[in-house]
Amino acid sequence: MEAGELSTVVAVDGPSGSGKSSVSKEVARRLGLAYLDTGAMYRAATWWCLDQGVPLADARAVADAVRGLPLEMGVDPDDPTVRVGGTDVTADIRETRISAAVSAVATNLDARAELGRRQRAAIDAERTAGWSGGRGVVAEGRDITTVVAPDADVRVLLTASEEARLARRARELHGTADAAAVAATRDQVVRRDADDSTVVQFQVAADGVVTVDSSHLDLPGTVQAVLDVVQRALAARR
Ligand SMILES: Nc1ncnc2c1ncn2[C@@H]1O[C@H](COP(=O)(O)OP(=O)(O)O)[C@@H](O)[C@H]1O
Ligand SMILES: Nc1ccn([C@H]2C[C@H](O)[C@@H](COP(=O)(O)OP(=O)(O)O)O2)c(=O)n1
């Protein structure tokens, strides 16, 4: 980084299937920033609890397990990785058994406090050094604009209609968005967002957070819309 150049922190929140991961990854690539997938941290914590035989209904046991979670996040947007206790779980944490169970960790307030601390530390590391060499980070999740990094330089709420989000997830998981595929996807999108909404507000933009509605945009169009928000915010900062 050039001397005197500012680092950039971009925070992106939104519901399941709004495009947070794919859009944030591409925005990070284009801007040379690190990419932090905070949802993957909740998924990794869930994988760890299941691996260790921790009963997800026991809130105290879950919180203890999360405090001891041996987690390493790889923040290269070209190859984001998740390792737990040295095991690469990047693919395993996307399995349906994790998607179905992750809200037990996401609704545990002690687990949230612990993962929030680690997320803030990862973001702070990228502001000064880290993988990006101090250029900064795009961090995405449900409470990044509001709780984890409310002081981010750019804050975006990425939304899309429930219909669009269900169709995208169905295509991703089943290769089609026909009625059966959408029905099979509903638990992972609608039920999970309803459960998660009991502890975090990610359906309505907080003050100072810019909403990007991707319902009628394709992926490149959504990336461009977010890049435009970043450019405007950085121009205002200069
Ligand atoms: N604007 C968009 N238009 C069409 N498909 C999209 C768009 N944004 C994302 N997708 C696709 O929808 C799926 C879910 O996107 P993802 O980035 O995983 O969302 P999230 O991280 O918010 O759950 C992926 O298959 C992705 O390629
Ligand atoms: N900052 C965050 C990020 C994710 N979560 C929760 C919400 C989800 O149920 C899980 C997994 O998040 P993830 O972004 O991977 O979920 P999607 O499948 O992309 O919708 O973690 C959260 O509570 N707070």
Q: Is position 15 annotated in a ligand binding site?
A: yes
Cβ atoms of 78 and 35 closer than 8 Å: no
Residue 66 within any structural domain of the chain? yes
Residue 176 within any structural domain of the chain? yes
Residue 25 within any structural domain of the chain? yes
The Å distance, Cα 202 to ligand 2 centre, comes to 11
**CATH number for the domain harbouring residue 162:** 3.40.50.300
3-class DSSP string for 169-230: HHHHHHCCCCHHHHHHHHHHHHHHHHHHCCCCCCCCCCCCCEEEECCCCCHHHHHHHHHHHH
Q: Whose CA is nearest to atom 14 of ligand 1?
A: 17
Residue 3 within any structural domain of the chain? no
Q: What angle do CA 82, 88, 93 make, to 5 degrees?
A: 60
Ligand whose nearest atom lies closest to the CA of 173: 1
Ligand whose nearest atom lies closest to the CA of 107: 2
Other beta carbons within 10 Å of 194: 11
Give pTM, 2 decimals.
0.95
Q: Is position 215 annotated in a ligand binding site?
A: no
Place of tokens 């992972």: 188
| DSSP single-letter state for residue 146 | I
Which residues is 155 bridged to in the sheet? Answer: 11
Q: Taken in order 116, 121, 127, 133, is the CA torsion positive or negative?
A: negative
How long, in residues, is the chain? 238
Name every protein residue with a CB atom under 6 angstroms from any ligand 1 atom: 14, 16-22, 168-169, 172, 214, 217-219, 222
Domain span including residue 190: 8-237
What span, in angstroms and rounded, lies between the C-alpha atoms of 50 and 28? Answer: 31
What span, in angstroms and rounded, lies between the C-alpha atoms of 5 and 46? Answer: 38
Q: Is position 197 annotated in a ligand binding site?
A: no
Q: Taken in order 122, 77, 158, 187, is the CA torsion positive or negative?
A: negative
Angle between helices 179-186 and 162-174 (to 10 degrees): 100
Q: Whose CA is nearest to atom 12 of ligand 2?
A: 39
Q: What angle do CA 4, 153, 221 make, to 5 degrees?
A: 115
Residue 1 within any structural domain of the chain? no
Q: Is position 17 annotated in a ligand binding site?
A: yes
ipTM of model: 0.96
Cβ atoms of 112 and 102 closer than 8 Å: no
pLDDT in tens, the chain (238 residues): 454 468 999 999 999 999 999 999 999 999 999 999 999 999 999 999 999 999 999 999 999 999 999 999 999 999 999 999 999 999 999 999 999 999 999 999 999 999 999 999 999 999 999 999 999 999 999 999 999 999 999 999 999 999 999 999 999 999 999 999 999 999 888 888 888 888 888 888 889 999 999 999 999 999 999 999 999 999 988 7
Domain count, the chain: 1
Residue 115 within any structural domain of the chain? yes
Q: What is the strand order of the sheet 154-159 is part of?
A: 34-37, 136-141, 8-13, 154-159, 210-213
